[in-house]
Amino acid sequence: MESDTIGRGRMSGRAALVTGAGSEGDEIGIGRAIALAFAREGARVACLDLEAAKAEATAAWIRNEGGEAIAIAGDVTSRKDCDTAVALAVEAFGGLDALVNNVGISVGMTVEQFDQALWQRVFDTNLLSAMLMARASAEALTASGRGSIVNISSIAGMVTMGSLAYGTSKAALHHLTCELALMLGRKGIRANTVAPGHLATPMVARLLPESMRESRRKVGPLGIEGDAWDVARAVLFLSSDEARFISGVELPVDGGVTMLGALAGMALVTDDS
């Protein structure tokens, strides 16, 4: 849900790079919402996506609103592509203040069906990419003097949800975030994690049947789904000076689901039945 909580100039004069910033058509996925939110807060935004057309669509949206943005096509599992993306952003904007690692994939996998190639693909996309982008951007973020890295994880990395490769990679992503917070902190770079959960995004609409979405709504303390803008607002906060003394945290954006015990969740579902 968009609101007037975005657009107060919190990122004015800054440059941001958002990976996975593209979406299909006019859809608002998490990456696009983050890129738009940064731009509406005054940032110049580099929109990085594997597909050039999707990156350009988000950048064009920002420019149409009067903002400044560039589109970059690249594979975040490639060290060369990550280096190039950061170099292009720095060249276009004169520096870099914020990095958001939003790229992620999930595959169905059980212990009995373990596929090493798929496992490696998930870890390369969800974890290696964040490390490569952090390494590539560290110098520019240090020069900023107020650098911020926000990694987009998932509540699947906080609680067990039957997502063998995805959940494990996302749990590792937050630990990586903590290591970055420690190793880069004295260079003026903060690193934090946002863990979305139970969101109504275009991908969810395509993949989950309405019955499953209804179950998710019932089990949540708020009784609703979140959306991409909820994640964008959390990322904005953690990337801004409002969070200047916050580093190494994992912020769930999940309507309170991860703090529930199993019996409390069952009781909510029963009460709504």
What are the residues whose beta carbons fall under 8 Å from the beta carbon of 46, sequence distance 6 or more? Answer: 15, 16, 17, 18, 69, 70, 72, 85, 88, 89, 92, 93
Instruction: Name the nearest CA neighbour of 16 among 65, 78, 58, 79.
Output: 58
Q: What is residue 98's three-state secondary structure?
A: strand
**Enclosing H/E stretch for 233:** helix 228-239
The answer to whether 181 is a known catalytic residue is: no
d(CA 51, CA 255): 32
Q: Which of 166, 219, 229, 233 is catalytic?
A: 166
Our CA angle for 211, 217, 220, nearest 5°, is 140
| DSSP H helical ranges for 41-163 | 52-64, 79-93, 116-123, 129-144
Which residues form the catalytic set? 166
